[in-house]
Structure 1
Amino acid sequence: MPIKKTMLRAASLLSLLLLAKVVFAAPTCPPQPQAPTASQIQQLSASAPDRGFLYRLSRDGHDSYLYGTVHLGRMEWIFPGPQLRQAMGQAQHLALELDLSDPATLQTLSQPPAHAQPLQLKPDLRRRLTAQARAACLPVAALSHVHPLLQLSQFSALAARWDGMDPAFGQELMLGAWAGQRGLPVSGLESAASQLQVLIPSDPEQAQTSLRKGLEQLEKNQLRPVLRRLAQAWAQSDLDTLASYERWCNCVAEPQDLADLRQLNDDRNPGLAQGIAELHGRGQVLLAAVGSLHLTGDKALPRLLEDLGFKVQRLH
């Protein structure tokens, strides 16, 4: 199962977990995220470097910005660097893959996906999923109302806490909170329903196969090294490493895995590009934030935006 799919499902589900407040601490639990202290806020606000990937998009006589994010992070990463702060200061509109502040989005994510047949888990998969809930220090019933693949992704994301990272420190949540404080409009470049169609197979047998693969990766501790490398590449603005993701992610073992990765990443990029172009065309300065892997590949977003008439300049 592609690691990006794991992260994206986890990011979509994170707000539901935060609302439910079901994560609890125990001696064998991964460390929980800690809010920065007042002195940390002052220090990190003043010294944060630019991370990730920021582009200026110029068309129709004005600029917008495209920012490549990572869906989990460290506490210090929620403080924007100088160039991102400048873009945020100019922005009049925020666009994210999904607007997780929208109640309709949260409702869709919390319900069984309309496009997929109900998934009746085989006993061994149910036992293994329950074991992962306990390992993540979640009550077994906490996520029982959501699809098993979404449950698995949340368990996988919480495992990154052992490495000092947490989806609560993802860039989308930081930007969403900032936009809310400034009263800026927030738009989703995709709908929750369309994203679920990509994340969750409609065929129950295929969904169980994906679940089995994901559980095996988690049980064998294959996810954490990949998440660490992905996050490090983002923090160092290392686009070359991200562009070679397929070669080191340990997630492309057979042709179907590669097809899944293409569907998850490349095939969504034209719709994301069209959404960015439409919002930019309204005349406001747009800050659009998407997962950084959307900036790579034959259908990389900067390339597609150039095809739509934008002058695209990478800022850092």
Structure 2
Amino acid sequence: MRQLLAALALLLLAACARPDPARPAMWEVTGPGGEHGWLFGTIHLLPREADWRSRDIDQALAGADLLVLEIARIEDEAELGAVFTELGRTPGQLPLSQRIDPALRPSLEKLYAETKAQDSTFAELETWAAALTLAQLANKQGNSDHGIDLAIARAASHLPRAELEGARNQLSIFDRLPEKEQRDLLNLALRDDRGAADEAQLAEAWRKGDMALIGRETRTGILADPELRKALYSGRNAAWIGQIEDLMRKGRRPFVAVGAAHLAGDEGLPILLEKRGWKVVRVQ
């Protein structure tokens, strides 16, 4: 399930044998009353293990008293899959080939030929669920087992966890989209012809903490659609800010690890917190 969600965010490219060296972006957040927290950018899919630990990250994890993830039980694939099935399956759906832009039918047929899928594969899937599944089928590079949200969960196993959304709330964002927006999502999943070189560039941007490039990517693809951008990106960031502030004001020291795109640009968490009076300093 992480694969399905992550296919709509930053994807990455395969490489060779040794772990990829990485220095992903991280910020320290402080408040006037001694409040303290950290923001760390993850990537949900990687082709192989990344060497992402650093002295700054280890010090932050040692100073934190709470790990905050988008989904707290990130390892529980069974729970995520069950929620996806409950929310995403409704009998009586139109064939997928009738729900897409007719001009995209050749792309769908090509994907079917490559993956052995067919219209019957999506017979009961709502349009948003079909779009996420198509995105997963099209992605041959990433592996959620090497994702940094999972790696953070393992590295911070000594910390209690909290979540910003949870599996049900996260998938409900897609489930609540009007059918028109769901079909836009489906069409955009089929239109995404990003090549290996572009995926390599995105993976390198995460590894280097290149938030300018990541920020530009939040204006492309599905996030270039205003309604989808609000539902999947800017609206979620705005909802998370209050939760993070509330934790720090209650004396918690949260280490907040979310997809790196959520930390980029004027609508990213660091800028939003700064605008609300917090001191936000990039430390890596």
Which residue is equivalent to 1:72?
45
CA distance in 2, matches of 1:226, 1:194: 31
The one-letter code sitting in structure 2 at the alignment partner of 1:150 is L
Report if aligned partners of 2:83, 2:168 keep a CA contact under 8 Å in 1: yes
- Whether 2:112 is the aligned partner of 1:112: answer no
2:200 equivalent among 228, 231, 240: 228
Aligned mates of 1:250, 1:9 — CA distance in 2: 15
How many Å apart are 1:189 and its aligned residue?
A: 0.5
Matched, 1:294 2:262: yes
Structure 2 residues without counterparts, runs of 5 or longer = 100-104
Q: Which of these residues, 5, 9, 16, is aligned with residue 5 of structure 2?
A: 9
Distance 1:61 1:200, change over 3 A: same
Question: What does 1:200-279 correspond to in 2, within 5 Å?
Answer: 200=175, 202-217=177-192, 221-222=193-194, 224-245=196-217, 249=220, 257-279=225-247
- SS of the residue corresponding to residue 222 of structure 1 reads coil
Tell me the secondary structure at the aligned position of residue 75 of structure 1: coil
> What is the letter of the counterpart of residue 5 of structure 2?
R
Q: Is the 8 A contact 2:149 2:257 kept in 1?
A: yes
CA distance in structure 1 between the aligned counterparts of 2:92 and 2:199, rounded to whole angstroms: 28
CA distance in 1 between partners of 2:154 and 2:108 (Å): 32
Q: Please give the TM-score of this superposition, normalised by the length of structure 2.
A: 0.74
**2:137 matched to which residue of 1?**
155
C-alpha separation between the residues in 2 aligned to 1:178 and 1:145? 39
**Cα RMSD for the two superposed structures:** 3.9
- Higher mean alpha-carbon deviation, 279-288 vs 192-201, is at 192-201
C-alpha distance after superposition, 1:92-139 (max 9, x if no partner)? 21111112246765542342249xx76714253699779747745899
- What are the within-5 Å matches in structure 2 for residues 33-48 of structure 1? none
Tell me, in whole angstroms, the C-alpha distance in 2 between the residues paired with 1:268 and 1:252. 13
Partner of residue 274 from structure 2, selected from 300, 306, 316: 306
**Structure 1 CA distance, aligned partners of 2:251 and 2:130?**
42
**Scaled by the length of structure 1, what TM-score is found?**
0.68
**Contact 1:189/1:272 (<8 A) preserved:** yes
Could you tell me how far 1:166 is from its partner in structure 2?
2.6
Aligned residues: 267
Contact 1:277–1:308, Cα closer than 8 Å, also in 2: no
Tell me how far apart the structure 1 counterparts of residues 196 and 123 of structure 2 sit (CA, whole Å): 24
Identity %: 26
Residues 90 and 201 (structure 1), Cα distance of their counterparts in 2 relative to 1, 3 Å cut = same
Cα contact 2:22–2:52 (8 A) shared by 1 = no
1:175: Cα distance to partner?
Answer: 1.2
Matches of 1:246 and 1:149 in 2, distance apart?
Answer: 19
